[in-house]
Amino acid sequence: MKDVYVIGCGMTKFGEIWKSSFRDLFVEAGLKAIKNAGIDHLDSMYVGTMTSGLFVGQEHVGALMADYLGVAPIPAVRVESACCSGGMAVRIGFLDIASGNSDIVLAGGVEKMNDGADVTFALSTAADQEYECYHGVTFPGLYAMIARAHMKKYGTTRDQLAQVAVKNHYNGSMNPNAQFPRKITLEQVKNAVLVADPLTVLDSSPVSDGGACVILASEKIAKKFPKQMVKIIGSGAATDSLALDQRKDITALNAVKVSAKKAFKMAGLKPKDIDLAEVHDCFTIAELCIMEELGFCEKGKSGKFVEDGNTALDGKIPVNTSGGLKSKGHPVGATGIAQVVEIYEQLTGKAGQRQVKNAKIGLAQNMGGSGASSVVHILKKLND
């Protein structure tokens, strides 16, 4: 496999972006990424979008975005894996360059969720329609069941869940692209409107519009832009049953475990080698379960791990320095790309107030549904 580098990135602000349409959001992010990388052409493009058919009545997203970005007739295709559509777009872009087929690939993601669609129904299409949604359960309910099971099995507390949101909002308060860039308190999280017991609205990521893009390149191209070389040294993806009831233990996210194992194997690294991580905190409980599967802490100990400040900006392994899905926002298809944007900015020293010191190796973990898909990328800064 040929080596693959990240040479630039760009994203829109996440939020309720009424002034921009679905295509506008992608084009804004794409142009920023192209400018940031300093390139003058693309060889191909992959666009992560979860359910633009239901959100805005538009499929055929690859060609549409290539046209509006002004890069047609390059090959452009949409990639969908529910909430990890963006991460999967990065992975396929990675494979495209690794194969030698392309030298410069744009991997992007976009979602326009605030355009009048029934968001809860649209998102529920990431769960098993026949065995979950049909019976009335949607994602807050599914994650609430995971939270209850984790609390019962491992003694995880309500405060520990809330601490995830408090930490991520603290980080997000320093991110100009965040949808909710404000600090919150444990009490605010616990006393917020209940969505699905024990999860309140402040345990949940918001409904967002947004776009994000990264530029991937072969070694030949990356060497022409020697500012700071960031290499993708690991990529792993995996799947699990869509329906939660088909898993032996709903607190275990096997797809996360397997995807991480593959990425670590490719990188030749262990969890302790990671300097910072962006993980898929669609709900606070998700961040806890994911940290365990990534090997950042022991199984069942994630609540205490967060409570003790290990994942804070100045902790042992800063997690979701961008604010995560929770504070930064979660425009589904763009989320996995925005994670790589954050890791790239951290590794190149462009993360402003939320900069992690001496960050050399970062990990991005993006998840779909209640954990039926997961993709992990490990990025490394090669020079200073």
**Contact set with a second copy (CB under 8 A):** 1-2, 21, 23, 44, 50-51, 53-54, 56-64, 66-67, 72-82, 88, 91-92, 95-96, 98-101, 121-122, 124-130, 133, 236-242, 246, 254-255, 258-259, 368-369, 372-373, 375
Q: Closer CB to a second copy, residue 323 or residue 333?
A: 333
Q: Closer CB to a second copy, residue 134 or residue 185?
A: 134
Nearest-approach distance from CB 131 to a second copy, in angstroms: 10
| H/E run at residue 243 | none
Q: Closer CB to a second copy, residue 44 or residue 322?
A: 44
- Active-site residue (options: 150, 169, 280, 330): 330
- Active-site residue (options: 9, 83, 133, 282): 83
Nearest-approach distance from CB 119 to a second copy, in angstroms: 13
Q: Closer CB to a second copy, residue 90 or residue 214?
A: 90
Q: Closer CB to a second copy, residue 210 or residue 236?
A: 236
Question: Which among 157, 12, 89 is positioned nearest to 377, based on CA atoms?
Answer: 89
Residues ≥6 apart with Cβ < 8 Å to 259: 236, 237, 238, 365, 374, 375, 376
* Backbone phi and psi for residue 352, each to the nearest 5 degrees, phi listed first: 60, -135
Nearest-approach distance from CB 185 to a second copy, in angstroms: 35
Question: Which among 128, 75, 143, 155 is positioned nearest to 330, based on CA atoms?
Answer: 143
Q: Are 218 and 6 a contacting pair, CB within 8 Å?
A: no
* Backbone phi and psi for residue 377, each to the nearest 5 degrees, phi listed first: -125, 140
Nearest-approach distance from CB 252 to a second copy, in angstroms: 12
Nearest-approach distance from CB 365 to a second copy, in angstroms: 14
* Strands laid side by side in the 44-48 sheet: 44-48, 104-112, 209-218, 4-11, 230-239, 373-381, 361-368, 276-278
To the query of whether residue 84 is one of the catalytic residues in this protein, the response is no
CA separation, residue 199 to residues 88, 158, 206 (Å): 28, 9, 13
Nearest-approach distance from CB 90 to a second copy, in angstroms: 11
Q: What is the dihedral of CA 342, 292, 241, 232, to 10 degrees?
A: 40
Question: Which among 105, 128, 122 is positioned nearest to 41, based on CA atoms?
Answer: 105
Q: Closer CB to a second copy, residue 43 or residue 345?
A: 43
* Ramachandran area for residue 307 (φ above 0: left; ψ -120 to 50: alpha; else beta): alpha
Q: Are 166 and 192 a contacting pair, CB within 8 Å?
A: no
Nearest-approach distance from CB 300 to a second copy, in angstroms: 22
Q: Are 139 and 123 a contacting pair, CB within 8 Å?
A: yes
Q: Closer CB to a second copy, residue 101 or residue 355?
A: 101
Residues ≥6 apart with Cβ < 8 Å to 322: 171, 172, 175, 178, 278, 328, 338, 339, 341, 342, 354
To the query of whether residue 133 is one of the catalytic residues in this protein, the response is no
Number of C-beta neighbours around residue 125 at 10 A: 15
The residues annotated with a catalytic role in the active site are 83, 330
